[in-house]
Amino acid sequence: MNKKYNFPPDFWWGAATSGPQSEGRFYKKHRNIFDYWFDIEPEAFFNRIGPNVTSNFFNSYREDIRMMKEIGLNSVRTSIQWTRLIKDFETGEVDPEGAAFYHQVIDEFLKNGITPVMNLHHFDLPIDLYEKYGGWESKIVVELFVLFAQKCFALFGDKVKQWVTFNEPMVVVEGQYLYTFHYPNLVDGLKAVQVLYNLNLASAKTIAAFRDTDCAKQGGKIGIVLNLTPSYPRSDHEADVKAADFVDNFFNRSFLDPAVKGEFSVTLVDVLEKDGVLWESTEKELAIIKRNTVDFLGVNYYQPRRAKAKESLFDESCGWMPDKYFDNYQLPGCRMNPYRQWEIYPQAIYDIAINLRDQYDNIPWYLSENGMGVEGEEQYTNSDGYVEDDYRIDFYEEHLGWLHKGMEEGANCFGFHAWTPIDCWSWSNAYKNRYGYIALDLATQRKTIKKSGYWIKQVAQNNGF
């Protein structure tokens, strides 16, 4: 007999997307780093598809949101693009057309009974601020981001009650400064560590600004969305365990600890200090981080990390890198998503839940992204014209099963958001892998509900499966 999984009343059944991945560049006055990168190097993007149109949300948001309602979603996270809302980054002057667009989008969500969760940064740093200041390398940009956030709270805080400062800030560190998958594709460990600190500071300062708003005083909440990837050692051998601990410390706890506990891990600070790469900070800044922790946490989970002790001499020629302390490890015989070369390991959701319960004061959190990216998905279209993505339904049911087990054991989880409602553009991968509950035909912009879209509608109606 199959087990029945019931979830609490008011559980969020939703999905996540972002402004730069769904809206298109229509009428934007400024370019973010991905707009710029595509303009100068279109061949860096899969099939040379850039962010100009994406899934046309700017023009079709009404129809798109109606489809999200049709598949039963009660909450959706997207982002407000700094480059669309703000006319002058230095003064914070608002672009009236940008403000009108986001007002209309938020109103449409509310009209359809969908809770909008608005994120302030989804990898879309304005290129002007990178070229003038070095982007997140600079504390001037931290202040300008807080100014942008204040404009968002003032404009939309009467309607939006759920806010997020950053989506996956560690990916900014990794992509732009360590592993060359986001523009400017640098390999600079010293800058990476300073950016890591500055992003934590920007989040805390944004939370401080939010706490002064009417929205916060009337029960609005602000959190952060982190990609938490539990780090498993190859073996119980001390050297492997130590390597996995460092991976967890650098890639997970460097944002998780400041966000929830208000301070950086002592062991991480010690390593960075010993290696001569510790960030520049002040006592005043650290006090701001200490005082301004999140109300809730979003957890993005796709795959685990596995680590082993360093097996080859670390190459110092590129300067400091976190890889000095570990090698990545692939578990023999593990299940893989062949399209992404990502391990499928649903049990990690349970491990995350228990870790947050035991080590992070059982903070309220939700599974803010989880998904199965598949290339060539149109091959699974049936005679009725919709994609039969049973593999995605199986993937979600397995992950939700482990989430449910964690919740049964006391984890304080209040929702599940899939990545993504409608197939969306994914940075340099463009549309290589599809993730949506709703399929997008790029050539015609026609959207059709997949089998998983009908599945989530039933799950949301029954509050379980």
> What's the rounded Cα separation, in Å, for the pair 20 and 434?
16
Q: Return d(Cα 303, Cα 434) in angstroms, integer.
A: 17
Instruction: Choose the catalytic residue: 23, 108, 168, 174.
Output: 168
Judge whether 168 counts as a catalytic residue. Answer: yes
Q: Could you give the angle at which helices 254-261 and 169-177 cross, rounded to 10 degrees?
A: 150
- The gap from C-alpha 225 to its chain's centroid, in whole angstroms, comes to 5
For residue 77, the SS3 value is strand
Candidates 207, 243, 218, 209; CA nearest to 160 is: 218
Q: Is residue 30 within 8 Å of 121, Cβ to Cβ?
A: no
Tokens matching residue 53: 């149109």
Residues 6 or more apart whose CB falls under 8 angstroms from that of 36 comprise 127, 183
Task: Render the burial of 207-241: b for 16+ CB within 10 Å, e for the rest.
Answer: bebbeebebbeeebbbbbbbbbbbbbbbeeeeebb
Our answer to whether residue 108 is catalytic in this structure is no
CA distance linking residue 311 with residue 423, whole number of Å: 40
Which residues neighbour 58 within 8 Å (Cβ) at sequence distance 6 or greater?
A: 23, 24, 26, 27, 101
Q: 42: cis peptide before it, omega within 30°?
A: no
Q: Tell me which of 23, 137, 285, 369 is the catalytic residue.
A: 369
Q: Which residues does the annotation mark as catalytic?
A: 168, 369
